[in-house]
Each structure stands twice: as C-alpha cells, then as structure tokens.
Amino acid sequence: MNWQSYLEQNQERFDEELLDFLRIPSVSTAPERAEDVRKAAEWVRRRLRAAGVPFLELIDTPRHPVVFGRWVTDERKPTLLLYGHYDVQPVEPLDLWESPPFEPTLRDGLLYARGSSDMKANMLTLIQAIEAIAKTSGQLPVNLLILFEGEEEIGSPNLPAVVRQRRDQLKADVALSADGGMQGRETPSLCVGLKGLTGCQIDVRTGTTDLHSGSYGAAVPNAVQVLIQLAATFHKPDGTVAVEGFYDDVRPLTDKEKGSIAAIPVDEGGYQHEAGVLGLWGEPGYSLLERRWTRPTVDFNGIWGGYQGQGAKTVTPCQAHGKITCRLVPGQTPERVMELLKRHIERHTPPFAEVTVDPLKGSANPYLLDTDAPVLAVAAAALAEVFGHEPRFVRSGGTVPITEVFRQELGIDTVTLGFSLPGSRNHAPNEWFDPSFLPDARSVFATYLTKLGSS
Amino acid sequence: MNWQSYLEQNQERFDEELLDFLRIPSVSTAPERAEDVRKAAEWVRRRLRAAGVPFLELIDTPRHPVVFGRWVTDERKPTLLLYGHYDVQPVEPLDLWESPPFEPTLRDGLLYARGSSDMKANMLTLIQAIEAIAKTSGQLPVNLLILFEGEEEIGSPNLPAVVRQRRDQLKADVALSADGGMQGRETPSLCVGLKGLTGCQIDVRTGTTDLHSGSYGAAVPNAVQVLIQLAATFHKPDGTVAVEGFYDDVRPLTDKEKGSIAAIPVDEGGYQHEAGVLGLWGEPGYSLLERRWTRPTVDFNGIWGGYQGQGAKTVTPCQAHGKITCRLVPGQTPERVMELLKRHIERHTPPFAEVTVDPLKGSANPYLLDTDAPVLAVAAAALAEVFGHEPRFVRSGGTVPITEVFRQELGIDTVTLGFSLPGSRNHAPNEWFDPSFLPDARSVFATYLTKLGSS
C-alpha cells in the first residue's frame, strides 16, 4: 500500500481524532489552564509515538513543556526540523461564540473550535502524514527533529532558551513550521514573511482609592482620563503611529517587493466583509496588502478602569489599565521599539499620575525569507503537485517568534506551510477550520517529506 | 423627661440599630439587589412606625419604592417635608475594601460600611430625633411629610413623577434634606448649593467580531482605539472641557459669591492627603473651592473593551464602552448638556465606527439657595445652639436631584442638613461615618424641629 491509499483508508479515524485534540482547552496564557496545556502536550507525545516516532521527550520549562522528538533514519538524508504549537488563544469574550469553544461543532461545512485553525488541524495533519509514510514504507525519506511548544500564544518566552541549550541535538538542514495558511482553497501559497512582536501592559494610578465624582471630580486627577489622554498620543488622527522614532528603523520596500505585492489581486470589499468590519482603516500611503504584510503597528488589545457594571456609578477612578502590542517589520527589533514606547509614555505622563509599563514576557523579531531561497523550491513543488498549479509567495501580518530564533541559533531557514484559510477567526470568537481541506493538507505534507528526501 | 434625656438613655439602642440598617445591601443600580432595596424600604417604614409616625405607605414605582409618611399634628403649625434616600452606591472594586462593605466594622474610631455616610446614619438619626420628641412630648412641634426614596444613587428617575402625582398631598412650607455633611467636626455648615447631573454610556462598535491583530490590525479599525480618540476630545490638555458650548450657559460667579468663597480657609495639602491622590488637578483659572463648588465637569466613571485578563491576547477588539457623567452648575440644564454631548460625539465619530449614546435614566438640575433665604435661619440657629457657634454657608459638588424638583413642583426651598465629614469616602471603597458624631446629629435634628415649630 502507498501512503496515498493509507491516508484514504484512515480518513475517518484521522478526522475523528482532531475532535479529541480540539476538546483539550490548552489556553497557555491562563494560569488555571496549566494542567490542560500539559494534557495537550501528552496527547501530542502519544500521537507522535503512535505515528512511529521512536524518541520522544517532554522538555520542562518554567511554564509549559516542549514536545521534543527525534527520528534518525539515514544520516545521508536531509534533516528536517518540524515546528508547531499545541497551545491556543484565550476564548474571551465567551458570549460571542455561537458554540462552546472547546466543543468542536460542524456548522455549514466548517468545524468551529478554539485552536482549530491556529493550529491544531495543521499540527495533526502533519503527524498523520508522517504516520502514513512510516506505516507504508517502513521508514521516513528524511531525518526528523520535532519541537512542538505550548507557549506560542504567549510569545514563546521559553523556547529560545531550549533551542540554545540543545543546539547540538538540533542540527538540521531546514525547518518546517506548520503554523500557516493558504490564500484560498484554490490558491496555494507559501508564506515568506512574518511580523515581529512586542508589547506591554500600562497601569495608571492617580491615587489610593476611587472617589466621589461630585466631591472630588473637579479637583483631582481621573485615572481613566489620564490613560485616555496618554493612549490618544500613540497615533496621529490619520492612523499613523506617533511614537517618536517608531518608523526610523523600518527597511523601506524595494521596487521588486512593491511590484510583487501590487501584482496580487486584492478584493477589498471581500476582505472587509470577511472581517465583519464597518470599514477599512490604516496608515495612509500604503495599499491594503502593504499595510497587512509590511507595515508596523501599535494595537490596543484591551482597556479597563473604573465602573463597568450596569447603570451608573458616579466615581472618579484611581486606576486604569491598557494592553498594547506592536507588530514589527524588517529593520525593527522588539528591544528598540519597547525602549521607544517607554520613552514616549514617560514623556506623556502628567505629574499627578504614576504609570507603570510591564513588558510582555515574550517578544519576536520579524522574519523574512528571500523568495529565491532554495528551501522554498521543495515546498513549492509539493503544493504544485497537489493543487495543480504553482503557489504564490505571500507574507503574513502574524508572528511565529521561533522562526528568527532558528535562523540565529541554528543557522537554518524556516518554510511555513499550513492550511488555515482567510477569515478563519484565529484569536477571535468562532474560530474555524474547513474540514474538507484536511485530506489536501495531509497530502501536501506527505508529498513535501517525500520530495525533500529525494532532493 | 425631655428629648435630651431620652436621646441619652436610648443612645446604645440607637447606635446598635444603625448596624442593622447598614447590613442591608440596598444597591439601587444592581438588578440582582432589587429585593434588598425593598427590604431596606420596609426596614425604614417599620422604623418610622416605631418612632410614632401614624400614616405610612410604600409607593411603588417602576423600580424601587418610595417610603411616604404623614403626621399632621396641628394645621396652624408649619409643615416640613423630610427627604432622604435609603439606597446606596455599588461597592466595586470589592478588593479595595478593608472590611466587607455590608458588615459594619469599627476601626480606629470610625464606622466603615457602604451607605454609612451616604446616607443611612443621617436618615436614621433624623428618625431617632423624631422619636425622642414624640415619645417625650406626646406630639410633634411641626407637621411632617416624609419622602424617603430608594433611587437617589441612580439619579432619582421615578421620584419626580411621584412628587407631581401627589402634589396635593405634599403641601409644605419647607423641605429638609438629610443628605449632607459638615465641613468639619468643629465647623458646622449649611449647604446652599448642589451640582446638577447628566451622563451617558458610550458604546463603540467597529465590526462583528474581535480579530487577530496580526492578520487585521494594520487594516481594520480598532474599537478601543476609536473610543480612546473620541474620549480624548472631551477635554483640552489643561483640563478644560472641550465640548463645544459646554460653558456657554454657566452663570458667572458674582463678586459677592467669589468673595465669600475666597474667605473660606482651604488646606490644599490636607485635601490632597485626605483624597489620597498624587496631585491636585482641574480647570485652570479657578481656585480649589471654586472648582469643587461652582465649575461643571465631564467625568469618566469607567471604561472597558478588549482583553482584560492575565497576560497578552493579540486581538483587535470590535467593541469598547465608556461611562461618563457631567456635574452641572447654575445656568446649565441636563437636557441641553446631553444635547451638546451627543452633537460632540456625532461630530467626532469616524466613518468606520458606530457609536451609541445611552443617556442616564436619571438627571438633575443644579440647585442654589440664596444665603439670605429665611428658611436657612432656623437651621443655622439649631446648629449654633448645639455647636456653640454660627455655621458656615457652603456648597457641595454632589447632586441631590430632588431639591430642584421640590422647588419647581411644590414651590418650596430645601435646607440640607447632614453630618457626613470630609473624606468619608462616599461612593468609594471604605466609606465611613464617625459614630462619635451620632449624638450631635440627633440633637441638631431635634433642635431644628423644635425651633421650626416655634418659628
């Protein structure tokens, strides 16, 4: 039997076990979910064992474990380092979910669950492809190293140290990150660029207690107002970031980059509809794709302070809080941008308030692969074989922190290959994966492994 | 026995029953507390009955009942309309309370509980003063009408209609509101001015779902950012309200008013310390007392949107919310100010966002009594008799909506006489009342009733 037939014969079982994986609420940011995150790690380890991976280890970190695997079949063959993450984003606001986030639900042909698109379906189909080849040919066409982490959604704070400590065990020719997507069902694509990330929580304090807004409001500072005035200085009215020096290190797009982005057809109305927003927005002077793929941002992820219950409470709040993250592009570094942010905040803090900046635990450098890089050719060929035409090179506005770490620590490039579709609501309520895409995902991964072995 | 001896002999019982009253969590804004609010109304009715009030009625409203009482002793005597409220503010944020808000706790000589200062101690000592006179002289020196409501802390949305409907039953010569305070333990004072109130909740929507800040953040609007930019337009950097027309109707202070405010000694450092704030703040060009007593404000009471949990969630929020209230001064009306606010918000709403303005159910006109008003003389004499010197005329930044309604509907002025002290944390965590002040409160109320009867 060849791997193609094996995949066909086991399709029902393979689809079923995705539901089991999705039922584990592996929310890495929530301390009370720590046990569930470990459960997911153990689920993944068992699944890799069942696929035939001979050496497996849970590497403990200060927070969530890394699933490490090794399968050396022939030292003359190329070695591939597989990357993925088994953790998921938080589910709040829960009331916007149409079905419970950890009860996978099929609705109108889409499978709804937190982590379905980001990235449990991608990880599992990769494991299933490995199993199909291993069970039908007795061995793999490549040597495998596996690093599946549980902290990607909190910025991979511990994986870089693991990579540094295990450099000798992680010698590979190329890395494959399954944390990616396709441009469309009929539009295979390869992601060559990812944005970097940094961010912080901002805590404003103006006093020791909330006060009566009548007795005090006209005479003492209001922490919510201080935060509003401070936060309003981060952007100009047109949407440009107003933090001094923020754009200084941004490497301008080359004419070639501009041209290749401009050549990609964009349906702005379709994008707006799919995003469910009342209008498009962003930095003037850049096209929609340029903004999404190549322009850095300062994003407000959350804000809170004062009375938030029903009705009114006439109070002058003494505390207010905001969460922001920045997406970074080539030329920028998280350290430098955080420094600029801190300086900006310091400069805009009034004398009657205390502002504390608590930087994110994880951060990431931006990542960009040259489209001529040889490591892309094998992946492109695998996509072309399954889909019948050449893939498009694209970038993502998202962040996979480890790609740049692999480059710096191991000296290897990372090919990103995944099957999430646009609009699949990663990080948002009602995240979905299109299950009719699962067989193609398995075929592409198996084809890629086979082609890499004979490359 | 005279009422003085009665008060002395019953002091322990009188102090004890305040604790019972404070244990009822009569938070009027919280729908889940509706039963507790009714319990408080029934407690007050029973207490008035025990004091000797012959006619009592709970007047139902769409929300919380009004305790109505009548005691006609002699039609030739003056008729006094007593006003108070038995509801309290919400207790959030709960974690800032040093003892549970509805378990009255004596600490360092102060009695801590929600509603202790605003205004259960004031209401109860007034009832106890009535009892002392009634039980010792067999009848009252005045005729009494009583309106104790349960909705003051939500802006008295239903009491004005009750007053209008019962105009014929509410014919009185003067009203006494017990919802007030003294300038200091040794500084008796009479409040002649109250600010008005209006406000709203602002709901911002930019789309139908929260989105991944990497895939969408650079290209779609962020509801938290829209709210921040909008809210930042309400004030100029110096603290002046920037809503167009906001100050247009404000009646400027007369030289006499300015002079009498300037004559009052102010300890700015002491005020700042007592408020627990890092600095003082407010509209430039006005003294601390002028701002607190005579200048209108736009206050942010609360804000929320996006992710507020632990750690990071890289999301572009589609909704954000804010609560604001405005304190108004003579010349302004809630209707006009709300209209200006709505216009301002409309003008500053970007095309890619929907902003909904939900006005407060209750609002209030500002109230100002001429210091020469004859109704003040009796109250001033009562204070002078108990404290040994003349009271000071002051204003408050707070709001008691019904005072202006009594003036418009019943044609009577309201004397505000209460015993809360500065810094007693009305509306804030750790609200307190000084229990050593309870005997003086009862004596002043009894003296006032006696003097009014012979005036």
Assess if residue A346 is contained within a domain: yes
The CA distance from A230 to B48, in Å, is 52
- The model's confidence at residue B281, banded by pLDDT at 50, 70 and 90, is very high
Assess if residue A189 is contained within a domain: yes
Residue A73 tokens read as 């079949």
Concatenated DSSP letters of B233-244: GGB-TTS-B-ST
Query: Is residue B374 pLDDT above 90, yes or no?
Result: no
Q: Is the CB of residue A25 less than 8 Å from the CB of residue B306?
A: no
Q: Give the lowest-confidence range in A48-57, A151-160, A275-284, B157-166.
A: A151-160
Assess if residue A337 is contained within a domain: yes
Query: A87 contacts in B (CB within 8 Å)?
Result: none
Q: What is the pLDDT of residues B192-214, one digit of tens each?
A: 999 999 999 999 999 999 999 99
- Cβ-Cβ contacts under 8 Å for B435 (sequence gap 6 or more): B15, B18, B106, B109, B110, B111
The answer to whether residues B73 and B19 belong to one domain is yes
Please, which residues bridge with residue B176 across strands? B82, B415
Smallest Cβ–Cβ distance between B307 and the set A301, A308, A361 belongs to A301
Query: For tokens 């969408």, what's the residue?
Result: B216
Domain count along chain B: 2
Smallest Cβ–Cβ distance between A311 and the set B154, B195, B430 belongs to B154
Concatenated DSSP letters of B359-389: E-S--B--EE--TT-HHHHHHHHHHHHHHSS
The answer to whether residues B175 and B323 belong to one domain is no
To the nearest whole angstrom, how far is the Cα of B278 from the nearest Cα of chain A? 5
- The model's confidence at residue A362, banded by pLDDT at 50, 70 and 90, is confident
- Cβ-Cβ contacts under 8 Å for A205 (sequence gap 6 or more): A223, A318, A319, A353, A354, A355, A356, B278
Quick one: three-class SS letters along chain A? CCHHHHHHHCHHHHHHHHHHHHCCCCECCCHHHHHHHHHHHHHHHHHHHHHCCCEEEEECCCCCCEEEEEECCCCCCCEEEEEEECCECCCCCHHHCCCCCCCCEEECCEEECCCHHHHHHHHHHHHHHHHHHHHHHCCCCCEEEEEEECCHHHCCCCHHHHHHHCHHHHCCCEEEECCCECCECCECEEEEEECEEEEEEEEEECECCCEEHHHHCCCCCCHHHHHHHHHHHHECCCCCECCCCCCCCCCCCCHHHHHHHHCCCCCHHHHHHHHCECCCCCCCCCCHHHHHHHCCEEEEEEEEEECCCCCCCCEECCEEEEEEEEEECCCCCHHHHHHHHHHHHHHCCCCCCEEEEEECCCCECCEECCCCCHHHHHHHHHHHHHHCCCCEEEECCCCCCHHHHHHHHHCCCEEECCCECCCCCCCCCCCEECHHHHHHHHHHHHHHHHHHHCC
- The model's confidence at residue B186, banded by pLDDT at 50, 70 and 90, is confident
Nearest residue in B to A399, CA atom: B214
To the nearest whole angstrom, how far is the Cα of A280 from the nearest Cα of chain B? 5
Assess if residue B276 is contained within a domain: no
CATH number reported for the structural domain that contains residue A307 in this entry: 3.30.70.360
Query: Is residue A401 pLDDT above 90, yes or no?
Result: no
Q: Is the CB of residue B143 less than 8 Å from the CB of residue B78?
A: yes
Q: What is the pLDDT of residue A338?
A: 98
Assess if residue A272 is contained within a domain: no
Q: Choose, out of A314, A319, A328, A431, the residue to mutate when testing the contact with B (most B CBs < 10 Å).
A: A314
Smallest Cβ–Cβ distance between B211 and the set A210, A275, A323 belongs to A275
The answer to whether residues A107 and A167 belong to one domain is yes
| Domain end among A359, A391, A416 | A359
The answer to whether residues B334 and B448 belong to one domain is no
What DSSP state is assigned to residue B155? T
Query: B155 contacts in A (CB within 8 Å)?
Result: 312
Tell me if B302 and A313 make a contact (CB, 8 A cut-off).
yes
The answer to whether residues B112 and B246 belong to one domain is no
Q: What is the pLDDT of residues B147-178, one digit of tens each?
A: 999 999 988 889 999 999 999 999 999 999 99
Q: Is the CB of residue B401 less than 8 Å from the CB of residue B197?
A: yes
The answer to whether residues A212 and A310 belong to one domain is yes
- Cβ-Cβ contacts under 8 Å for B392 (sequence gap 6 or more): B183, B187, B188, B189, B190, B264
Query: A312 contacts in B (CB within 8 Å)?
Result: 29, 154-155, 199, 301, 323, 325, 360, 362
The CA distance from B122 to B437, in Å, is 10
- The model's confidence at residue B340, banded by pLDDT at 50, 70 and 90, is very high
| Domain end among A328, A359, A390 | A359
Q: What is the pLDDT of residues A277-313, one digit of tens each?
A: 999 999 999 999 999 999 999 999 999 999 999 888 8
Tell me if B219 and A399 make a contact (CB, 8 A cut-off).
no
Q: Is the CB of residue B311 less than 8 Å from the CB of residue A323?
A: no
B211-212 and B315-316 strand pairing: antiparallel
To the nearest whole angstrom, how far is the Cα of A432 from the nearest Cα of chain B? 13
- The model's confidence at residue B444, banded by pLDDT at 50, 70 and 90, is very high
Q: How far is CA A19 from the centre of its chain?
A: 21
The answer to whether residues A133 and A205 belong to one domain is no
Q: What is the pLDDT of residue A176?
A: 97
Tell me if B29 and A311 make a contact (CB, 8 A cut-off).
yes
The answer to whether residues A184 and A220 belong to one domain is no
Assess if residue A257 is contained within a domain: no
To the nearest whole angstrom, how far is the Cα of A428 from the nearest Cα of chain B? 5
Tell me if B428 and A206 make a contact (CB, 8 A cut-off).
no
Residue A78: asked if its preceding bond is cis (omega within 30°), the reply is no
Q: What is the pLDDT of residues B20-75, one digit of tens each?
A: 999 999 999 999 999 999 999 999 999 999 999 999 999 999 999 999 999 999 99
Q: What is the pLDDT of residue B361?
A: 80
Q: Is the CB of residue A159 less than 8 Å from the CB of residue A402?
A: yes
Assess if residue A267 is contained within a domain: no
Tell me if A278 and B207 make a contact (CB, 8 A cut-off).
yes
Q: What is the pLDDT of residues A213-248, one digit of tens each?
A: 999 999 999 999 999 999 999 999 999 999 999 999
The answer to whether residues B163 and B311 belong to one domain is no
Instruction: Note whether ipTM > 0.90 here.
Output: no
| Domain end among B308, B332, B359 | B359
Query: A216 contacts in B (CB within 8 Å)?
Result: 275, 277, 292, 397
Q: What is the pLDDT of residue B375?
A: 87
b/e sequence B48-81, b meaning 16+ C-beta within 10 Å: beebbbeebebbebebbbbbbbbbebeeebbbbb
Tell me if B218 and A90 make a contact (CB, 8 A cut-off).
no
Amino acid at A215: S
Query: Is residue A412 pLDDT above 90, yes or no?
Result: yes
B12 class by beta-carbon count within 10 Å (0-12 exposed, 13-18 middle, 19+ buried): exposed
- C-alpha torsion sign, points B188, B189, B190, B194: negative
Smallest Cα–Cα separation from A154: which of A199, A102, A100, A92?
A199
Smallest Cβ–Cβ distance between B282 and the set A96, A218, A278 belongs to A218
Q: What is the pLDDT of residue B452?
A: 96
Tell me if B275 and A216 make a contact (CB, 8 A cut-off).
yes
Q: What is the pLDDT of residue B43?
A: 98
The answer to whether residues B99 and B242 belong to one domain is no
Helix, coil or strand: residue B436: helix
Residues found in chain A: 455
Query: B214 contacts in A (CB within 8 Å)?
Result: 195, 197, 327, 396-399
Q: Choose, out of A33, A191, A225, the residue to mutate when testing the contact with B (most B CBs < 10 Å).
A: A225
- The model's confidence at residue B87, banded by pLDDT at 50, 70 and 90, is very high
A211-212 and A143-149 strand pairing: unpaired
Smallest Cβ–Cβ distance between B214 and the set A195, A212, A320 belongs to A195
Query: A321 contacts in B (CB within 8 Å)?
Result: 308
| pLDDT higher at A66 or B96 | A66
What DSSP state is assigned to residue B350? -
Which domain covers residue A64, as residue numbers? 3-194+366-453
The CA distance from A9 to A1, in Å, is 10
The answer to whether residues B395 and B313 belong to one domain is no
The answer to whether residues B202 and B80 belong to one domain is no
Query: For tokens 């209609």, what's the residue?
Result: B161
Q: What is the pLDDT of residue B124?
A: 98
Assess if residue A269 is contained within a domain: no
To the nearest whole angstrom, how far is the Cα of B15 from the nearest Cα of chain A? 26
Nearest residue in B to A288, CA atom: B219
Tell me if B315 and A427 make a contact (CB, 8 A cut-off).
yes
Amino acid at A169: Q
Torsion of CA B69, B74, B77, B82, to 10 degrees: -10
Nearest residue in B to A282, CA atom: B219
What DSSP state is assigned to residue B49? H
Q: Give the lowest-confidence range in A103-107, A140-144, A208-212, B22-26.
A: A208-212
Neighbours of A340 (CB within 10 A): 18
Tell me if B207 and A277 make a contact (CB, 8 A cut-off).
yes
Q: What is the pLDDT of residue A183?
A: 86
